[in-house]
Structure 1
């Protein structure tokens, strides 16, 4: 997308997520934030392709408002038996999600898209997460905390939700919602210096 002699375009993170901001900052890249604010609807059925599609939609939405910029977008979703579990709208729905996830392994998919003057590049990261068996008091305690209400699948691995999990197979940062390995590959391919390397 950019050769070694071309100064990369300004990098924009198309997300208001404080977790994604913090993770991207940790890579040493200079960027600013412009929230995509799109209606998250995809025509795809496969969860991995839904995640990729939504990330690409977010990147395009911000790129239309920021011509010439390099726009980085991400979308993370949780799927159990190929059924997507979105952000629970209520405490009761959050508790129901936790009951379904209890003692089982589910998939976390993050789509990442990078759109700039040189074109679009995207990818998907997949991580398997296993919940320990939860009793009803634990389900209700976590649901009442409110931590899961703004998160795919109804839990956050980086907070109190870490106590729900017995095993992870794959990249931890993917479950947080920003798979750093994939983000680094896409940024470096576009000529952006991260961790001191282009």
Structure 2
């Protein structure tokens, strides 16, 4: 019998990444109010948030392998979450223009008997962006629900000059490492 795999995230990007591997899994979105301790380092923040999501779902599904994940963008020690509004989005994108920032994605994998958390950090460099380019991107609606106000895999790809690290981690789930950690935890692929 196939072990049950649950993605504790409503992110369509994370769902797509797992679907690309032709794995059978369910999506059960965590309903907890995320608690962020801003005194923590970015890597601890994303691992803590990923763990909170996974624990919330796993307590109702102890027989499953549950994956929680969270992503933040960091520039000059400022954690950039999802924008509050268009002005906030503009502020973030102007800040990231012609600069290198870091994207941290934390992952938690829970089973009935084990708990694994890890993170990946990727450096992303943006092109220099004009105010009209930023405004056009914001008007697309794409930045609304994304950490740092951009998505690397869609229209936001034209903002990115280069990356150093795991592309899929920037999308929202470091898929290669996640699969390796699932196997270590006993998941049979």
Using the size of structure 1 for normalisation, the TM-score is 0.90
Q: Structure 1 residues 8, 123: CA separation in 2 closer, same or farther (over 3 Å shift)?
A: farther
| 1:185 matched to 2:180 | yes
Alignment of 1:51-62 (within 5 A): 51-62=46-57
Using the size of structure 2 for normalisation, the TM-score is 0.95
Gaps of 5+ in 1: 1-6
CA contact (8 A) 2:65 2:187 kept: no
CA contact (8 A) 1:91 1:146 kept: no
Runs of at least 4 residues off by over 4 Å? none
How far apart are the structure 1 equivalents of 2:177 and 2:16?
16
Aligned to 1:173: 168
Aligned length: 188
Aligned to 2:23: 29
Aligned to 2:42: 47
Per-residue deviation, 1:17: 1.1
Alignment of 1:92-103 (within 5 A): 92-103=87-98
Q: Secondary structure at the match of 1:121?
A: strand
CA contact (8 A) 1:107 1:129 kept: yes
* Deviations, residues 13-43 of structure 1 (Å, cap 9, x unaligned): 1011111111111223221110012222222
* Deviations, residues 25-69 of structure 1 (Å, cap 9, x unaligned): 122322111001222222252011100010011110001122322
| 1:78 matched to 2:70 | no
Gaps of 5+ in 2: none
Let me know the Cα RMSD of the aligned residues.
1.3
